[in-house]
Structure 1
Amino acid sequence: MKLSQGVEWCLHTVVLLGQIPQGGPLPRHLIARHHGLPDEYFAKYLKLLVKAGVLLASTGPRGGYRLARPGEHITAWEVVEAIEGDQSFFHCQEIRQCGSGAASPEECNEPCAIHQMMQVAFLSWKEQLSRTTVADLVGQVPEHVRDRNRLALVNA
């Protein structure tokens, strides 16, 4: 499984926004510059987060992006789902019914063991991300880094 770079960009973005007093807003170009991201390409991911209700966007001279809810109420899964969708990373092709070793449709009433294993793995992964909030992730950022980020972005 390989996630798009947008997942990493967006997880770092929500963690950064969670560090800003009163939650922002921060202009897109400042967030992009802070993480060394291409501003225009980054914009498409921010739009997905707004559409998913993870971020709020405002326009004007004091506009930008901020968390749509307190960090305690936004999960890592919401961010991943906004970028990648909610589908399992495994898509069973039912190859057990193909080729010279094909099983009959009657033998395939239940998902195969591989399909079941992958579904359990996906649900476990999703559950872990659903238990981890933006606030949890912000809490793991060292205090001196949070202070540095606040100074750099609030005074920009």
Structure 2
Amino acid sequence: MKLPASTEWVLHCASTLAQLEAGDTASTAQLALYFDLPAPYLAKQLKALVKSGLLSATPGPRGGFRLARPAAEITLLQIVESVDGASSPYVCAEIRQRGVGALPPEECEDTCVLARRMAEAHQAWRHSLAGTTLADILATLAPGTAARTRSRLAAAR
């Protein structure tokens, strides 16, 4: 499975916003500079997180983004699905029923074993991401990381 680069962007941005002090925000420009990303495209991705209720946005020159709820209530799956959707990346086109190797219809009444396995793998992936919150990610950071992040974001103003 290959996810777009923007998936990495929103995961890192959300993790970064989770390191801010309560009430603080970071602008698109700050986050774009912090990660060396194109601001217009990043803004589009951050707006998707606002639309899904994961981030809140404050307009104005001192505005920016912050988590819309506690880090312990935001899962990695929610972030990923906000920008990539929830559909499986695997689509079975039933090619086992085509070509010179086509199976007879009576052998294709059950779902293809490969489609079943791919669906199981997708569900396992979703379950893993659903079980990991931003708070879990923050708990793995080295001491001083959040303070360094806040300092570098402030310098990017």
Give TM-score scaled by structure 1 length: 0.94
- Deviation by residue 1:5-51 (Cα, 9 ceiling, x = unmatched): 11100000010000000053211101111111111111111111111
> Residue 18 of structure 1 contacts residue 134 of structure 1 at CA under 8 Å; is this kept in 2?
yes
Contact 1:20 1:154 (C-alpha < 8 Å) held by counterparts: no
State the match for 2:129 in structure 1.
Answer: 129
**1:70 matched to which residue of 2?**
70
* Residue 105 of structure 1, CA deviation: 2.9
**SS class of match (2:66):** strand
One-letter code aligned to 1:49: L
- 1:58 partner letter: T
Contact 1:71 1:134 in 2 (8 A): yes
The sequence identity of aligned pairs, in percent, is: 41
Q: CA RMSD in A?
A: 1.3
Question: Which residue is 1:4 aligned to?
Answer: 4
Partner Cα separation in structure 2 for residue 15 and residue 94 of structure 1: 40
> SS state of the match for residue 34, structure 1?
helix
Name the counterpart of 1:17. Answer: 17
One-letter code of the match for 2:17? L
Question: Who is 1:99 aligned against?
Answer: 99
2:115 aligned partner, one-letter code: H
Deviations 1:107-139 (A, max 9, x none): 222211100100000000000000000111112
Decide whether aligned partners of structure 1 residues 141 and 23 sit closer, same or farther in structure 2, where only a CA change above 3 A counts: farther
Q: Match of 2:132, as an amino acid?
A: T
Tell me, yes or no, if structure 1 residue 115 matches structure 2 residue 115: yes
Structure 2 residue aligned with 1:29: 29
SS in 1 for 2:56: strand
Say yes or no: does 1:139 pair with 2:139. yes
Q: Aligned partner of 2:22: which letter?
A: Q
Give the structure-2-normalised TM-score.
Answer: 0.93
Residues 17 and 66 in structure 1, CA contact (< 8 A), matched pair in contact too: yes
Residues 138 and 23 (structure 1 numbering): CA distance in 2 closer, same or farther, change over 3 Å? Answer: farther
- 1:81 is aligned to 2:81: yes
Moved more, 116-125 or 36-45: 36-45
- Number of the residue aligned with 1:42: 42
Q: Structure 1: which 4+ aligned runs deviate by more than 4 Å?
A: none
CA distance in 2, matches of 1:76, 1:23: 22
Matched pairs, number: 156
1:25–1:65 CA contact under 8 A, matched in 2: yes
